Amino acid sequence: MFQARIVEYFLRFLAHIPLPVLHALGSFAGFLLDSFSSVHRRVAAINIALCFPHMSPGERRALVRTTLGETARTALEMGPLWFLPVERVERLIREVHGEEHVRAGLAAGKGLILAVPHLGSWEAVGLYVGKRYPMTSLYRPSRKPAMDYIARDGRQRSGATLVPTDASGVKKLYERLQTGGIIAILPDQDPRYGAGVFAPFFGIVAKTMVLLPKMARRSGAPVVYAWARRLPRGAGFALHFSPAPADVAHSDLHIAATAMNAGVEDCVRRAPEQYQWSYKRFRSRPDGEPSLYRRRALSCDSRNEDTL
């Protein structure tokens, strides 16, 4: 519990620092991560080389450097997004694009599934949507239960309800859809210990969750992607909503997962530097395939490729 309090006090301290300063600190932290042979740099380099094979080594190196700064900003933003008054957080949302897709989807009366990839500030998406619509979000409880309240309370304070990634949580998601509300799911995690199928993501097969496609087919609820782009120089965020490909609710789960991944790709291509490339998205491999994250397996680091 002592450790949790230290983390909470630190995040509360960050909440008092202006967003432009936090983003500048994030850029510096990204520079440090990029300057040393960190796990984050190695994983980001491998993912970017896999997903953007037509980029030059210099372009990939630049993207790695930038995305590490964005990853650091994601962590630092938790202070203001979780602890500033909700009204002040709302003022950080400078632009909203495509919210008509949310309203139109809800008008059908079957609820709506919000697919929120690890792109930009997904925390800002949850706070904005939770303030305006009845929403239940799926989340993975912390491995340290004493610290779980920090994220849970921070994400629920604008009105959203969080439920765990288990059978009871899935039941509550269906209940929310049945009442015409919104559920939010992260569609781009590797379901290592859950059900999933292998489907292409940027041309690389990736184990892909099937809960979202199953829920879309069973409930008839439309699916809308949502992500928050960080604006330059810490000016705030621009929210984007866009409809999912029609096949996301296909009865063939491989087709559905492929469509879902394609929707994530479309979002990522609009701001590739803000995607969480340091996450081991391709950790799970089909039977017989070696890990893509073994040391020396692959690199886009033109400075010293053997050190990754």
Strands (E), the chain: 93-97, 112-115, 135-139, 161-164, 182-185, 196-201, 204-209, 223-230, 237-243
Name the 3-class secondary structure at 118: coil
Q: Cβ distance 34 to 27 under 8 Å?
A: no
Instruction: Give me the pLDDT at residue 144, please.
Output: 73
Span 296-301, average pLDDT: 46
Distance CA 102, CA 222 (A): 9
Mean pLDDT taken over the chain: 91
Residue 303 buriedness (CB in 10 A; 0-12 / 13-18 / 19+): exposed
Instruction: Give me the pLDDT at residue 194, please.
Output: 66
Instruction: Give me the pLDDT at residue 217, please.
Output: 96
pLDDT over threshold 60, residue 299: no
CA–CA distances in Å: residue 280 to residues 75, 163, 190, 257, 269? 17, 24, 8, 18, 18
Instruction: Give me the pLDDT at residue 295, please.
Output: 65
pLDDT over threshold 60, residue 88: yes
Span 178-193, average pLDDT: 91
Task: Label residue 245 by pLDDT band (50, 70, 90).
Answer: very high
Give the pTM.
0.91
Phi/psi of residue 23, each to 5°? -70, -35
